[in-house]
Structure 1
Amino acid sequence: MESVSPSYRGHRCPVEVISHCVWLYHRFPLSFREVEELMLQRGVIVSYETVRRWCAKFGQAYANGLRRRRPRPGERWHLDEVFIKINGEHKYLWRAVDQDDNVPDVLVQNRRDKAAARRFFRRLMKKTGTVPRVVVTDKLRSYGAAHREVMPSVEHRSHQGLNNQAENSHQLTRQCERAMKGFRSIGGAQRFLSASSGISPRFRPHRHLMTAPDHRAEMTIRFAIRDQITGAPGRPATV
């Protein structure tokens, strides 16, 4: 599916600088100041505030473009929720991960009761336009109650040991949370996590299952897709 790259009208910096800064911030657990320093090391002078504005403007657009270019979510979804601190208060991050480690969606909510689980189920089906064959969750009873109401025909497996895939997906969130010294608002957390979950997993293939040449070839393809989505000119091959 072809996608229209975002408009950079009014921006003085080249597209490749903007897209690279946004990619760095959402791919790795970096602060805006650390992205500024990495770019300075490469001879590009850009302030951390400018990086922040670029990420706010283009991060979700890049994530949406990458989501459109990947295959539909797999037939097995792993769902999990984890608490995050926002201004000192406990909120809950709900995350779905398919069997290929793609993240169809994330949602920050105040609670983890039946209503919250039901809201997340409905949001997932609406956003992906599909229904899984199997849903795997931990033993939180909210999942079972919402599952019976929203998707009763879908097989539900509830077992703590089966859900490591979703739990492992939270690790990058924890790293980013530390780098950012916590989230400031629910809206800010939702925007950041939604963009990051659409960008970061796309550049983390199953490295342990690949040979080095295969990994480099796969990453080259994924970088080319990123350049198409962002509108950045392709990079020349290096020896």
Structure 2
Amino acid sequence: MKMLDPGVARVLKRLHNPLEVMLTCVRRYVAYPLSLRHLEEMMAERGIAVDHSTVHRWAIKLLPVLEKAFRRCKRAVGKSWRMDETYVKVRGEWRYLYRAVDKEGNTVDFLLRARRNKAAAQRYFEKSIRQNGVPETVTIDKSGANLAALHAVNAERDTPIKIRQVKYLNYVVEQDHRAIKRITRPMLGFKDFRCARIILSGIEVMHMIRKGQMKTENGTHPSAAEQFYSMVM
């Protein structure tokens, strides 16, 4: 019998609900454009009484553990990155989700920041390099802040990262933003920054799983849902 991931096991000690129900609700929340009340109604149709606020609590508790599990089995990305930021509303104000994909469209990494400036962009690049290795090329738009951040990163390197500011080459990441925004739209904004960061990480993980970015056993072809659930074990 497979053992529970230690991180999941610790979380479950504080959540006294069936694991299958919790994972089903959390996966659907980050995989489809559904509100918490939609999920409450869907579970009621199955004879399971779950309050929408409870689903939110499950997501906040479980998603950080699942993101860590995913990163342990994430496939390597390419060395040519396309980086851009998109907007997410938190407590009625726009915040900035920094994202990048490689030239094949695979997600490199993501980071939610309160401001759109050099410091935020540099923090994003440093995190992405730490998690994914150093790229050979980074393509950005005409943002002066992103350019300054890359110059700051290069100042610490013997071999600089090649920087390209070519808008049409960033079309692939701009299109990829749409998959994230499609899921967040029914949520009608986030109530606080911490919750936004956690929920967005779950959406990003599910999006990467769909794109085939999770390592699986040779000869197997598990569905996206099966891959999501496998992170618990």
Q: TM-score normalized by structure 1? A: 0.80
2:121 alignment partner in structure 1: 117
What pairs up with 1:199-218 in 2 under 5 angstroms?
199-204=206-211
Describe the shift of the 1:169–1:25 C-alpha distance in structure 2 as closer, same or farther (beyond 3 A). Answer: same
What code does the residue aligned with 1:153 have?
P
Partner of 1:156: 163
Alignment check: 8 A CA contact 1:29 1:172 kept: no
| 1:134/1:144 CA distance change after superposition, 3 Å | same
Superposed CA RMSD in Å reads 2.6
Structure 1 residues 61 and 177: alpha-carbon distance in aligned structure 2, compared to 1, 3 A threshold: same
Task: Provide the rounded CA distance (Å) in 2 between the counterparts of 1:57 and 1:227.
Answer: 15
Runs of 4+ in 1 over 3 A off after TM superposition: 2-5, 99-102, 221-225
Q: Look up the match of 1:72.
A: 76
Amino acid in structure 2 at the alignment position of 1:65: A
Equivalent in the alignment of 1:230: 232
Per-residue CA shift, 1:44-77, capped at 9, x if unaligned? 3322122111101001211221222121222122
Does the CA-based 8 Å contact 2:27-2:228 persist in structure 1?
no
Q: 1:5 to 1:230 in 2, by over 3 A?
A: farther
Q: Offset of 1:193 from its aligned partner?
A: 1.2
The answer on whether the counterparts of 2:5 and 2:232 sit within 8 Å (CA) in structure 1 is no
Does the C-alpha gap of structure 1 residues 76 and 161 become closer, same or farther in structure 2, counting only changes over 3 Å? Answer: same
CA distance in 2, matches of 1:5, 1:146: 34
1:5 Cα deviation from its structure 2 partner = 5.9
- Structure-2 change in CA distance of 1:158 and 1:109 (3 Å): same
2:137 is equivalent to residue 134 of structure 1: yes
Q: Which residue is equivalent to 1:175? A: 182
List per-residue Cα deviations over 1:117-162 (Å, max 9, x = no partner): 212111222233x111221211212222221220362122211111
Evaluate the alpha carbon distance shift between residue 68 and residue 101 of structure 1 in structure 2; reply closer, same or farther with a 3 A threshold.
farther
Q: Which moved more, 1:38-47 or 1:130-139?
A: 38-47
Residue 234 (structure 1) aligns with: none
1:21 corresponds to 2:28: no
Aligned residues: 219
2:37 to 33, 38, 43: 33
Q: Percent identity?
A: 31
Q: Which moved more, 1:180-189 or 1:156-165?
A: 180-189
**Retained in 1: the 8 A contact 2:96–2:114?**
yes
Partner Cα distance (2:17, 2:187) in 1: 25
Give 2:119's aligned amino acid.
A
User: SS at the partner of 1:220?
Assistant: coil
1:102 corresponds to which letter in structure 2? Answer: N
What is residue 95 of structure 2 aligned with on the other side?
Answer: 91
Query: Is the Cα contact below 8 Å between 2:107 and 2:208 reproduced in 1?
Result: yes
Alignment partner of 1:46: what SS? Answer: coil
For 1:209, the equivalent position in structure 2 comes to none
> 1:3 deviation in Å?
5.7
Alpha-carbon contact 2:85-2:99 (below 8 Å) kept: yes
Q: How far off is 1:23 after superposition?
A: 0.7
**Unpaired runs of at least 5, structure 2:** 214-218
* Secondary structure class of the residue paired with 1:104: strand
Give the CA deviation at 1:82.
2.0
